[in-house]
A and B are shown apart, each in its own frame.
Chain A
């Protein structure tokens, strides 16, 4: 619609009518409402909860990955002075003894068998954390170890032990083996036929390591038993109502007796989608009649949440001499670990987004998730799409080289755009400026060469190795790499993805005030900031109060899948619109007879007044409302999706797509195999930046997590024992400020007409393309193939095969 942008793109720019003149509304970089509390140390995170007389909970976890539990003796633990309760599977109060996001396959406490290293076996409540630890250490558990299943071969071997016998879940019927949790093919066109048209075919196998969310605030919370037999739970989570649905049946309580309030959340990134200590704290609270606090330490945190699926990805790409993609064939094997968690959705994303943001008519993709004895894997920022992007972008570089084209131009030639058809048959019906994003990152100025040198000499802090003084420039080679990715926004495949908002408007101290109440988990992303902005824009007020998130209001869905600003933002917008209508009705009733514009003009709420669309003020909101409060709670849904066909993968499975492109500039000490990322430039289409400062923060944060998995982050699991070898911040490394480069960001705003304000979910896309861009840059610097991430110094120096 309308005019054309400078780059020849359709300029779908969001135009506001209502609220355009209200300060602090959408589009402004308003500051976080919780900012002051967070910088003064007063913001109460889940681990800060405290209660008079509270006890400390402690979890005893399995020291082995796969074993039969032959005996548990808690007598000695119970005898420790200061211990109030010790509970095992046998102490669970109801027959509901398992939980899970989609498939209820996870035991609250292990029964008869442990399936992964660190699985909870027993829980203790005591008057001091040290007492609880000492008591837990005195629980005698007899284990008879079983062989471990750690990969596809061992999982599907004819005599393989089944991780879960007698599966009844809805994927069980269509999987080729019971140790395959879910399998999704995406088949379109005729790959065999298309391959004959290909002048160049490139095959590759890629390995993606296991990444940890490594949020800084450890799993923690406080459960307080209530007089009505229920429990009040203060908790850090991504989705209160999903927790509630899993917790209440295990406790044998109706949902209304499990009252959940969101405590401060110290980051999430997918790692708080599943339950951690929630049920354990509630069980101990109900058993002892005392408040129970549980706080994992960092070691336990590595066992306390799921990780990003490690994956093996085999790809075959073909192209014609003129650089057109002919076909993509892929097989993506994801390791789901011992329990299902979000694995089915990860499979759905990996398969349906497995081609990337490119137009390919002939596609044959198969993605599957395994059940193994490795640590359970589930949600992490960009899931499924992240692993695929790493592989298909490596392939695109190799294919461009084979064709003899510039790598960026090759991508642009094959880039999808609005109207393109996905391998699932879904038409992309909103802007998809893939080529433009690549153009933009490529057009950014490059950082200067040899930036570590100055008149004062060499600054090792700016060289690979940093403070460790490993090079003064020797062996250092620069490389540049590009990548682009596609991520779905919102819950897909027919999921009823909705959110609920309650908005109230009333006069407080002579001034109209809006109150927004949702159950949205603020995990740091800035949803609370945006909700206040939406309320200001829609209701024309300055003062907005954001109520704490809890289960007294309907579900907001999960803070994941880049969906909260879209869906809960959409719900807040919708509820505000209804409140506005009611307020205007009130106004018409009160003042309509005195001014004809109430009946004839388009009316807006601006600056605390009712104004006509021509700008004439009709009444103060304070006068319109008087003593009345207008309050509305509504659910809001985005457009429905549908499941993928289990055999062909066809279907309108996704709500919206999100795109980002990166250019990475790295310097590699080629002799030592050490890498310093010099710059990571990103261009992303965000539809509409509701809060530009927060948008950039999300892009830079996501980019950095992508950098981490490129060069340092990996949970190392011993393939012989399936035990985690590095559950600590000493050996699981995440980027420090000296590892993180400048990250220029170019934000494009092409409105999606189907979304509130035209916005696009933004949180995940930057995590996708960051990793392959860094890898491409390292390949550029070293000339090495590098088919696995993270890249370790061994891989860059040919010393990865032991002694």
Chain B
């Protein structure tokens, strides 16, 4: 079947989609957007978290056909999405150690993950970023227990979550300073 939907603000179309394919598969294998990760494909890890019409969901559990006509935001579009929300365009990466180049645009939560050491292998990172960004959109100054609850659907095997907590606190603090 053929599926049309919007990803990160751009209309996309996928052809010859097998009916059993997930949104995650279509993003990763058909649209060249492998940022959303395929860690469990059973909704038990959150690595594939995307916004579907603004709502954080596991892309592995959305049938591709269900995305028809809808808006999807993935980690690849997070900086732009966050920038539009704040209204002043995405900030630029500040880290002098960034190998990807200083021009890379990052959402505040992305920059905080880099700065706080919240990234090790990084496989959980895209899903955590989408979930954490949505939390901060809803609740700009979350208590620790709120952060833990909001991220309780995202498994990380490397960090023990402490640096992830630090990163979300850091992003929240920077966000509140900035406004």
Contact A728 B79 (CB under 8 A): no
**A560 CB to nearest chain B CB (Å):** 14
**B118 CB to nearest chain A CB (Å):** 9
> For chain B, what secondary structure do more than half of its interface residues adopt (helix, strand, loop), or is it mixed?
loop
Residues of B within 8 A of A462 (CB): 145
Does chain B have a CB within 8 A of A79? no
Q: In the complex, which of the residues A215, A466, A701 has the most CB atoms of chain B within 10 Å of its own CB atom?
A: A701
Question: Nearest chain-A residue to B77 (Cβ)?
Answer: A41
Does chain B have a CB within 8 A of A40? yes
Does chain A have a CB within 8 A of B169? no
Residues of A within 8 A of B115 (CB): 31
A residues 113-160 near B (Cβ < 8 Å) are 128, 130
Contact B29 A50 (CB under 8 A): yes
Contact A701 B120 (CB under 8 A): yes
Does chain B have a CB within 8 A of A619? no
Contact A467 B149 (CB under 8 A): yes
Contact B121 A215 (CB under 8 A): yes
Contact B120 A36 (CB under 8 A): no
Interface residues on B, range: 35 or more
**A514 CB to nearest chain B CB (Å):** 13
Contact with A along B23-60 (1 / 0, CB 8 A): 00000110011111111111011010000000000000
Cross-interface CB contact of B162 among A36, A48, A215, A742, cutoff 8 Å? A742
Residues of B within 8 A of A35 (CB): 95, 97-98, 113-114, 119
Contact B74 A41 (CB under 8 A): yes
Residues of A within 8 A of B101 (CB): 36
Cross-interface CB contact of A29 among B106, B117, B123, B165, cutoff 8 Å? B117
Question: A737 to B46, alpha carbons, bound, how many Å?
Answer: 12
Contact B145 A216 (CB under 8 A): no
Contact A737 B164 (CB under 8 A): yes
Residues of B within 8 A of A697 (CB): 117, 120, 158-160, 163
Question: Nearest chain-A residue to B97 (Cβ)?
Answer: A31
Question: Nearest chain-B residue to A544 (Cβ)?
Answer: B99
Contact B122 A266 (CB under 8 A): yes
Cross-interface CB contact of B155 among A37, A523, A729, cutoff 8 Å? A729
Residues of A within 8 A of B1 (CB): none
Residues of B within 8 A of A738 (CB): 148-149, 152
Contact A32 B119 (CB under 8 A): yes
Does chain B have a CB within 8 A of A45? yes
Question: Nearest chain-B residue to A766 (Cβ)?
Answer: B160
Given known contacts A34-B99, A729-B155, A216 and B123 CB-to-CB distance under 8 angstroms: yes
Contact B154 A36 (CB under 8 A): no
Contact B35 A525 (CB under 8 A): no
A residues 168-183 near B (Cβ < 8 Å) are none
Does chain A have a CB within 8 A of B75? yes
Residues of A within 8 A of B113 (CB): 35, 39
Cross-interface CB contact of B99 among A36, A693, A701, A736, cutoff 8 Å? A36
Question: Nearest chain-A residue to B115 (Cβ)?
Answer: A31
Cross-interface CB contact of B125 among A30, A38, A298, A702, cutoff 8 Å? A38
Contact A45 B123 (CB under 8 A): yes
**A129 CB to nearest chain B CB (Å):** 8
Question: A295 to B28, alpha carbons, bound, how many Å?
Answer: 12
Contact A737 B38 (CB under 8 A): no
Residues of A within 8 A of B164 (CB): 737
Contact B121 A33 (CB under 8 A): no
**B155 CB to nearest chain A CB (Å):** 6
**A802 CB to nearest chain B CB (Å):** 27
Does chain B have a CB within 8 A of A700? yes
Q: In the complex, which of the residues B99, B104, B157 has the most CB atoms of chain A within 10 Å of its own CB atom?
A: B157
Given known contacts A40-B75, A44-B34, A701-B159, A737 and B148 CB-to-CB distance under 8 angstroms: yes
Contact with B along A194-228 (1 / 0, CB 8 A): 00000000000000000001111110000000000
**B31 CB to nearest chain A CB (Å):** 11
Does chain A have a CB within 8 A of B76? yes
Contact A36 B145 (CB under 8 A): no
B residues 120-163 near A (Cβ < 8 Å) are 120-126, 129, 145, 147-149, 151-163
User: How many chain-A residues does the 8 Å CB contact rule pick out?
Assistant: 69
Residues of B within 8 A of A128 (CB): 18
Contact with B along A251-291 (1 / 0, CB 8 A): 00000000000001111110000000000000000000000
A residues 664-720 near B (Cβ < 8 Å) are 693-694, 696-697, 700-705
**A616 CB to nearest chain B CB (Å):** 27
Question: A737 to B168, alpha carbons, bound, how many Å?
Answer: 13
Cross-interface CB contact of B121 among A47, A130, A265, cutoff 8 Å? A265
Does chain B have a CB within 8 A of A730? yes
Question: Nearest chain-B residue to A526 (Cβ)?
Answer: B120
Question: Nearest chain-A residue to B32 (Cβ)?
Answer: A50
A residues 47-80 near B (Cβ < 8 Å) are 47-48, 50
Contact B35 A730 (CB under 8 A): no
**B110 CB to nearest chain A CB (Å):** 4
Contact A298 B157 (CB under 8 A): no
**B27 CB to nearest chain A CB (Å):** 10
Contact A703 B160 (CB under 8 A): yes
Contact A730 B148 (CB under 8 A): no
**B80 CB to nearest chain A CB (Å):** 11
Contact with B along A409-441 (1 / 0, CB 8 A): 000000000000000000000000000000000
Contact B122 A524 (CB under 8 A): yes
Does chain B have a CB within 8 A of A780? no
Given known contacts A45-B123, A266-B121, A740-B160, A217 and B39 CB-to-CB distance under 8 angstroms: yes
Question: Nearest chain-B residue to A452 (Cβ)?
Answer: B145
Contact A37 B117 (CB under 8 A): no
Q: In the complex, which of the residues A33, A44, A729, A743 has the most CB atoms of chain B within 10 Å of its own CB atom?
A: A729
**A297 CB to nearest chain B CB (Å):** 5
Does chain A have a CB within 8 A of B178? no
Q: In the complex, which of the residues A36, A37, A42, A265 has the most CB atoms of chain B within 10 Å of its own CB atom?
A: A36
Contact A737 B154 (CB under 8 A): yes
**B116 CB to nearest chain A CB (Å):** 8
Question: Nearest chain-A residue to B147 (Cβ)?
Answer: A737
Contact A524 B120 (CB under 8 A): yes
Contact B35 A40 (CB under 8 A): yes
Residues of B within 8 A of A298 (CB): 39-42, 44
Question: Nearest chain-B residue to A269 (Cβ)?
Answer: B157
Does chain A have a CB within 8 A of B67? no
Does chain A have a CB within 8 A of B87? no
Residues of A within 8 A of B145 (CB): 459, 461-462
Contact B100 A214 (CB under 8 A): no
Question: A38 to B115, alpha carbons, bound, how many Å?
Answer: 12
Residues of A within 8 A of B161 (CB): 700, 704, 737, 740
Question: A720 to B44, alpha carbons, bound, how many Å?
Answer: 29
Contact A700 B163 (CB under 8 A): yes
Contact A36 B93 (CB under 8 A): yes
Residues of A within 8 A of B148 (CB): 461, 737-738
Does chain B have a CB within 8 A of A758? no
Residues of A within 8 A of B99 (CB): 33-34, 36-37, 545-546
Does chain B have a CB within 8 A of A734? yes
**A71 CB to nearest chain B CB (Å):** 31
Does chain B have a CB within 8 A of A465? no
Residues of A within 8 A of B153 (CB): 736
Cross-interface CB contact of B110 among A34, A39, A214, A736, cutoff 8 Å? A39
Can you list 6 pairs linking A and B with CB atoms under 8 Å apart? A35-B119, A43-B122, A216-B121, A546-B99, A693-B163, A737-B161
Q: Apart from A41-B33, A50-B34, what 5 extra A-B contacts exist at CB < 8 Å?
A: A36-B100, A41-B34, A216-B124, A298-B40, A740-B160
> Which residues of B come within 8 Å of A, CB atoms?
18, 20, 28-29, 32-42, 44-45, 47, 74-76, 78-79, 93, 95, 97-101, 104, 106, 110-111, 113-115, 117, 119-126, 129, 145, 147-149, 151-165
Per CB-CB distance, the 3 closest pairs between chain A and chain B, nearest first, are A41-B35, A524-B121, A266-B123
